[in-house]
Chain A
């Protein structure tokens, strides 16, 4: 089996002695076109992997910044098709794109159909914050069939046995939630992140990326010292939300990406 675009992106970052920069944006925010432009700007400014959020009505892992954005995206009429179009735009520009999604929209679409359509849009796989290995059903088999990555989360509270089971099922990378909480920017990187990454490495050789609460170049630099990837979400979404015009929003996303891309360099 060939390596996924995500695997290649992490390997390239490692070869350049830096952590991979993973940026999150919800599809359709503030509107479909601007969302795509922002993602492409992010890719050109140095993001290695882009997580495209599939807006969901009940985002219970998300803080107010992302929850408000996906609410507005849904009110604007965003559908799965728009998410896949966003993925296609990013992947055809040569950057790895994953879909970050709560499970019900995929379940409702049909796991096999979703995998097929994601693969044909050039998507690399799924990040699934509310799917446990126990309830994964057909997803492992279907994702094998379409060569899609499976990114599950580990948390500071995860016991060793769960980390072992989760990492066994992951492909692409492992998402380490830096803290016990929901998405949103924080003043400092949680102290639990270092330990979690170390515990995760006992069970896997996959790259481990740290997310939740990372928003500044300084924090990215701190995380890059011990993790293979740095995941930033709310900080981007907040800039898009605060911008007076869509163009300003895209510019703000580009600037933050450039600064973060410097931050993820080691040494």
Chain B
């Protein structure tokens, strides 16, 4: 197979989509209580100003480099590729090596600097796996801001390590007992807090969802993953990958790694959703696979919902993917055909988890294990000539209890 000619790194204008009101085609937009509209308008304005302010850029770049350890490395997973991915060459973008252990820090540093810029003293966040909560608590400790994190009770149990980390870092962790006690319910509760405290509080949404400008802004803060990775893959291999694979919860690590590759028509973009333990309603969180268009958490996007527009319960072994919506840009990428989305079951994800542990000596987050399982499938399809970039979005320390129970070790 001949390599496609290497092109210079893509640096498209980062706003061909969305439009000024936050629409990615028919998706996105802004469905929010009027009480929040002034704050959302302020945020959009401040973000636009900050984006063009060299001092803001410099401060963020310095934090990303010196505090979060960027750029993260791209390393080859030789044994994993040979033994589990059909002999395909597999490269890992090591977001697990960023400070706090996942990609979430990229977005948080940007939003927390914006919080300071807006003169707000308090930050709230929702978290599923706890990685976004830990990143938010970390950045708030660093910059001297008050921090409260909403987390579903079920998730506080299965991601207990991260609850301790957040508390250690000085954040208040609020356990949410509504609904299925997972990410969606934590987000509802964070919105309720925000409506009441918006004068002095910034809501640091952890993924590329929510009302405009969040999907665009979080995408912009996360796209550094793909910008770095594209160059790193080119310099390591002299060519672009055949496929870029990432897990999709709300979709921030996936958009982050996809975005710089969107103009590269020959590169397949593959998002891996949580297939849970079946395709029946309530048994998975594969929104783009089983969902339909609706409005949830301030955005128009694919939603897992019943025949009357009530949000369905979800299930995933991974707390970070256990969410019935998805960022609107993914809905748009799906409908335009530029990206493809696959459902990866709990069982497949845990196979990916075990495979990486045993062949590479890396314990991945169970979220990221969905991407690894997806790469195993894509690798077998591509064969030994293929080249895959996998976004290893986080490390798995938080998941050892779940994994031990799963494997019975």
- A residues lining the B interface (CB < 8 Å): 56-61, 63, 67, 71, 74, 79-80, 103-109, 129-132, 134-135, 152-159, 162, 166, 177, 180-182
- Could you list 16 A-B pairs, sorted by A, with CB under 8 Å? A58-B296, A58-B297, A60-B195, A104-B294, A104-B303, A107-B295, A130-B31, A130-B33, A134-B21, A134-B30, A135-B300, A156-B35, A158-B37, A162-B38, A166-B34, A177-B35
Contact status B21-A107, CB under 8 Å: no
Interface locus among B77-85, B265-273, B304-312: B304-312
Q: How far is the CA of A109 from the CA of B310 in the complex (A)?
A: 11
Contact check, A134 vs B29: say whether CB atoms are below 8 A apart.
Answer: yes
Least Cβ–Cβ distance between B209 and chain A, in angstroms: 13
Q: Is the CB of B37 within 8 A of A162?
A: yes
Once the chains bind, are B31 and A108 in contact (CB under 8 Å)? no
Contact of B311 among A58, A80, A103, A157 (CB under 8 A): A58
Distance, CA A108 to CA B32, complexed state (A): 17
| B300 cross-chain contacts in A, Cβ below 8 A | 135
CA distance A159 to B195 in the complex (A): 16
Q: CA separation between A129 and B37, bound complex, in Å?
A: 12
A131 to B29 CA separation, bound complex (whole angstroms)? 11
The answer to whether B308 touches A135 (Cβ under 8 A) is no
Q: Which residues of A contact B21 (CB under 8 A)?
A: 134
How many angstroms between the C-alpha atoms of A155 and B179 in the bound complex?
28
Task: Please give, as numbers and ranges, the residues of chain B lying within 8 Å of A57 by CB-CB distance.
Answer: 179, 310-311
Known: A57-B179, A157-B198, A182-B196. A108 touches B37 (CB 8 A): no
Q: Tell me which residues across on chain B come within 8 A of A131, comparing CB atoms.
A: 31
Nearest CB of B to A135, in Å: 5
Residue of A58, A67, A129 contacting most chain B CB atoms (<10 Å): A58
Interface size on B, residues (CB 8 A): 35
In the complex, how many angstroms separate the beta carbon of B107 from the nearest chain A beta carbon? 22
Whether B30 and A155, one on each chain, are in contact in the complex, defined by CB atoms closer than 8 angstroms, is no
Compute how far the CA of A180 lies from the CA of B32 in the bound complex, rounded to whole angstroms: 13
> How many whole Å from B240's CB to the nearest CB in chain A?
38
A174: shortest Cβ distance to chain B, in Å? 11
Is B332 at the interface (CB under 8 A from chain A)? no
Contacts of A104 in B (CB 8 A): 294-296, 303, 305, 309, 311
Inter-subunit contact B308/A80 (CB<8 Å): yes
- CB-CB under 8 A for A152 and B295, given A56-B310, A67-B178: no
- Shortest B331–chain A CB gap in Å is 14
A108 touches B33 (CB 8 A): no
A135 CB contact (under 8 Å) in B30, B35, B39, B41: B30
Min CB distance B137 to A, Å, is: 23
B192 interfacial contact with A, CB 8 Å: yes
3 nearest A-B pairs in the assembled complex, by CB-CB distance: A108-B309, A155-B35, A157-B38
| Residue B199 CB within 8 A of the other chain | yes
Q: Once the chains are docked, how many angstroms separate the CA of A135 from the CA of B40?
A: 15
Q: With a CB–CB cut-off of 8 A, which chain A residues contact B303?
A: 104
Check A132–B34 contact: CB distance below 8 A: yes
Complex Cα–Cα for A57 and B35 (A):
21
CA distance A132 to B38 in the complex (A): 12
Q: How many A-B residue pairs lie within 8 Å, measured between CB atoms?
A: 109
Which of A56, A63, A71, A130 touches B192 (beta carbons < 8 Å)? A63
B188 in the interface (beta carbon within 8 A): yes
Interface of B is mostly: mixed
Given contacts A60-B192, A108-B294, contact A129 B33 (CB under 8 A): yes
Taken together as a complex, chains A and B put the C-alpha atoms of A241 and B188 apart, in Å, by 22
Q: How far is the CA of A135 from the CA of B34 in the complex (A)?
A: 12
- Smallest distance from the beta carbon of B264 to chain A beta carbons, Å? 33
Point out the residues of chain B lying under 8 angstroms from A60, CB to CB: 33, 188, 191-192, 195, 297
Q: Is B223 an interface residue (CB 8 A)?
A: no
Most chain A CB inside 10 Å of its own CB: which residue of B21, B35, B311: B35
B304 shortest CB reach to chain A, Å = 11
Residue of A79, A177, A180 ringed by the most chain B CB atoms within 10 A:
A180
Please name all residues of chain A whose beta carbon is closer than 8 Å to the beta carbon of B93 when the two chains form the complex: none
Which residues of A lie under 8 Å from residue B296 when comparing CB positions? 58, 104
B395 CB-CB contact with A under 8 Å: no
Within 8 A of A (CB), among B161-204: 178-179, 184, 188, 191-192, 195-196, 198-199
Which residues from B are CB-within-8-Å of A154?
A: 34
B198 partner residues in chain A, CB cutoff 8 A = 157, 180
A177 touches B34 (CB 8 A): yes
- Would you call B310 and A159 a contact (CB within 8 A)? no
Say whether B178 contacts A71, CB under 8 Å.
yes
Residues of B within 8 A of A152 (CB): 34
Chain A: which residue is nearest B184 at the CB level? A58
Q: How far is the CB of A86 from chain B (nearest CB, A)?
A: 15
Say yes or no: B30 contacts A182, CB within 8 Å. Answer: no
| Bound CA span A80–B310, Å | 11
B196 to A, closest residue via Cβ: A181
Chain A residues within an 8 Å CB radius of B295: 103-104, 107, 130
Are A105 and B188 also in contact (CB < 8 A) when A61-B33, A135-B30, A159-B38 are?
Answer: no
Q: Are B32 and A157 within 8 A (Cβ)?
A: no
Instruction: For B34, list chain A residues within 8 Å (CB).
Output: 129, 132, 152-155, 157-158, 162, 166, 177
Nearest CB in chain B to that of A81: its residue:
B308
Do residues A108 and B38 form an inter-chain contact, with CB atoms below 8 A? Answer: no
**Residues B305 and A180 in contact, CB atoms below 8 Å apart:** no
Q: A58-B296, A132-B30, A155-B37 are in contact. List 19 more A-B contacts (CB 8 A).
A: A56-B309, A58-B184, A60-B33, A60-B188, A74-B310, A104-B296, A105-B309, A108-B308, A108-B309, A109-B309, A129-B34, A130-B31, A132-B32, A157-B38, A157-B198, A158-B37, A159-B38, A162-B34, A166-B34
Neighbouring B residues of A129 by C-beta, 8 Å: 33-34
